[in-house]
Chain A
Amino acid sequence: MNNKSGVETAGNVSTSLPPKSWITLKINGAERHLEIAPWTILLDALRNLLDLTGTKKGCDHGQCGACTVLIDGKPINSCLTLAIMHDGAEVTTIEGIAKGDALHPVQQAFIEHDAFQCGYCTPGQICSAVGLLNAGKLRTPDDIRELMSGNICRCGAYPNIVAAIEQAMQSEGSAAQ
């Protein structure tokens, strides 16, 4: 039995799948074409379809920040957005934060300050920090504490995260001078 939208149903329940469509994402500088169902969130597209598993799933509800990526430079929760909505967008994931072998100052500072333990929230923390730094929103340690509070670290590395971002701010500041 076909309904108007062409979806198979059994009783009131759809048994066939929503049609897929082709989108293009510019991920970490490279164009990636993928055929995607409308119900696939960006996070699952990255992890399951594109094998970019650096972006983490911690809650799937926008409550933990582990899935943070940059879209056109701005940090977003990739679990709260459908991949299909980002056709043509520039996506930067943790795999694209370093320049080749050279770590981003935030990445380097995270290592030096031991700003992580298990490492699972780390990609999201780093993407948030990079996005906030790019936007010039982090000026004081209190800014860092407040604006980084969307990224939960259950290992409790917060003081080290603040110290790492402060160091990265200073190195960016001195690089700009």
Chain B
Amino acid sequence: MTTNYMGKATSRVDGRAKVTGAAKYAAEYNVPNLAYGYIVTSAIARGRITKIDASEALAVEGVLQVFTHENRHKIAEDDQSYEDEAASPGSPFRPLYDNQIKFSGQPVALVVAEEFEIARYAASLVHIEYKVESHETDLSKVRANGYEPKIKRMEGFEPVKPRGNAEKAFQRAVHQHDAEYDLPIEHHNPMELFASTAVWEGNGKITIYDKNQGAQNCQRYIANIFGFPMDDVRVISPFVGGAFGSGLRPQYQIFLAALAARELKCSVRVSLTRQQMFGLGYRPNTLQRVAIGAAKDGALEAFMHDALANTSRYEDYQEMVVNWAGSLYQCDNMKFSYNIAQLDLCTPMDMRAPGGAPGMYAIECAMDELAYKVGCDPLELRLKNYSEKDQNEGKPFSSKELRACYRQAAEKFGWANRKPQPGSMRDGSELIGWGMATGIWEAMQQPASARAVLTSDGKLEVSSATADIGTGTYTIMTQIAAETLGLPLQDVTFKLGDSTLPQSPIEGGSWTAATNGSAVKKVCDAVGAKLFAMAQKMEASPFANLKFEDVAFSEGQMRLKNDSDRGVAIGEIMRHGGATTLAEEATSSPDEAKQEPYARYTHSAIFVEVKVDEELRTIRVTRIVIAVAGGRILNPKTARSQVLGAAVGAIGMALEEESVVDQNLGRIMTHNLADYHVPVNADVYDIDVIFVEEHDTIVNPLGVKGLGEIGIVGTAAAIANAVFHATGKRVRDMPITVDKLF
């Protein structure tokens, strides 16, 4: 038995629960006397409600109440109460607040009944009259209205200041490429429908099983809006059926379930339908211009990247679309801009690699186009302009094994055999296209706390209020804790998804491994130190004259580092010390003095093969090789799944996904999984994930960089570039559907 778990491919600790149906999601807590809520949504995009007639709905047997803005009881009126950790500047959406309609699909009533089917039926009987106002939902029509957001969402989201003179350098450049790249609205569409089961506890307290990426974020939201003392609200979410960013903010069903439970004094479940999921946030429609000037040999002389994305009328949603080229490529003349324009839609939300996935799509397609203009291999162009430091910040990288990513992925893919001419490679009736791109994402860390309780039977429970949305959080935290205290994996339990657990930020930005992992490591070290103090007091202690640094934990024992044969069982130490439990809580924060001098990023290189039917123009992504430099890999099995899944997401982004807006109605028409296409099994062939060795002592104590986003960054560009190589057709608006290849 070895207890060195970090870096070892380990099956998910929650795997058995997930394959047997035992894992319970938000809508699956069947508490006694549960009432069911069904949401009625707005049929118009802009205007106001002039009349709501719920009399027919209320007359249906079994209907308990119909909640609207007219009859709901007091809720908070100030913007601040509705803000959350992932909010953008502005005035957050307030469900059932007043008669104003801000977007099609806005919740306007909640029908609560004794049975789900009754609520659903009665919801069809709620009659709403509107005063319709003219709306605008087309970003291309309001380009002139774009503005630089006055209040920044967070530091680093604004475009960096121009360097050199990009305009002038572009005009003088031997090779010029200037084009626009468009990305449509995309919806996260996690498989689990957003739902909340609000349990009215009878003593003024409320417990809500909810789908989210941050239990404490939702707890604060509900407490602030309804005026509950914080301790009277508990939000629980042990299993989350995917989110991809859509759970970073509290969604409106948690508000509705809490509202109904508080007013009816009973437990209420509210689930969204798949159609209603298209009334939640989304990746915004993003129009980008990339202009690159290069010398004869392809050396970059000018790089300009301008983005315009949509937001709502009530919040200035922002993400970092531009700036990436400044971190990735060596160029003295760079200029970036980022503007947003308001539409009558709900506010966009962070979707897997927000900013990075759209921005790098445009940058890496443009680099491919430039490679053809220069007449050099696309990989050579990247290597020629490889940046040894982040020019945006003027800082060296904490680590950057991108060269190794390029090399290893290219070798595995067989890139050297590529014939550059588009349409020059084929397999029977299919044209073969080979394309490549680069990926980059920030390696972030946030403050977080964790608790550890060790009992003398050798069982350890560690907890932190983060989430596992399929990312593998349960498993990697268990591995970190087990290795730190040298315990068998099965004796360690990690708890998350409960607002009563130690403080954690929302689970996003690929920061959870670094953030909560560092806290788990720290708290387990604290328990270890206590054990050490206890062990030193034992009779004839082998540790008596040593320091804590001289010991390590493995195989259930505390051992001398330089003589691992000498050790004492943890249980024995606790018995001698007269302790049945050892409990510690610790908070870890980023070491800013250490991190600040460095730029900290994860990198990747992606190589893609597509096969395009010569006549039908159907596209198959037959091979993806993606090499990732993501620091230390805690669990190669779940890590690979993260990258693989994100690459599948990129297939959707490149070839399938589009939330089509009917501009006449201001309404998303592809609002179901038959019309909003996502990759299915038959769309996916070989995906090869390589983790390049990368040591980083700067990013955090564990040396991990995070892997949730990197797999989707640049990958859609590699697919688009491969489609060009196959067909000679450059499609600059996603998704690349068959009709665009004729």
Contacts and interface: CB of A to CB of B under 8 A. Distances in A.
Given A111-B12, A119-B241, A120-B191, A159 B59 contact: no
Nearest to A98: B20
Contacts of A121: 191, 241
Interface in A111-130: 111-112, 114, 116-123, 126
Kindly state the interface size class of chain B when it binds its partner.
35 or more
A57 to B, nearest CB: 6
Contact of A37 (B23, B56, B117, B645): B117
B236 interface: no
B489 to A, nearest CB: 14
A119 B19 CA distance: 7
B18 A95 contact: no
B682 A149 contact: yes
Given A17-B61, A93-B21, A117-B641, A144 B681 contact: yes
B146 to A, nearest CB: 32
A113 to B, nearest CB: 9
A130 to B, nearest CB: 11
A111 B190 CA distance: 21
Contacts of A116: 15, 18-19, 470
Contacts of A162: 681
Given A117-B471, A118-B191, A159 B240 contact: no
A70 B376 CA distance: 56
A95 B20 contact: yes
A48 B24 contact: no
B72 to A, nearest CB: 24
B490 interface: no
A97 B681 CA distance: 22
Between B15, B191, B274, the greatest number of chain A beta carbons within 10 A of the residue's beta carbon is seen for: B191
Contacts of B637: 114
Contacts of A52: 21
Interface string A12-56: 011111000000000000000000010110001001100111111
A95 B14 CA distance: 16
Contact of B59 (A15, A54, A120): A15
B118 A122 contact: no
B70 interface: no
Nearest to A94: B21
B680 interface: yes
A107 interface: yes
Query: 7 smallest A-B Cβ distances: which pairs?
Result: A54-B21, A156-B648, A120-B241, A118-B470, A117-B470, A119-B18, A156-B645
Given A64-B274, A145-B682, A160-B641, 12 more contacts: A37-B115, A52-B21, A110-B19, A114-B12, A121-B191, A146-B682, A149-B681, A149-B683, A152-B678, A156-B644, A158-B683, A159-B644
Interface of A: 8, 10-11, 13-17, 37, 39-40, 44, 47-48, 51-61, 63-64, 66, 93-95, 97-98, 103, 107, 110-112, 114, 116-123, 126, 144-146, 148-162
Interface of B: 11-12, 14-25, 27-28, 30, 36, 56, 59-62, 115-118, 121, 125, 189-193, 239-244, 271, 273-274, 469-472, 637-638, 640-642, 644-649, 672-674, 678-684, 686-687
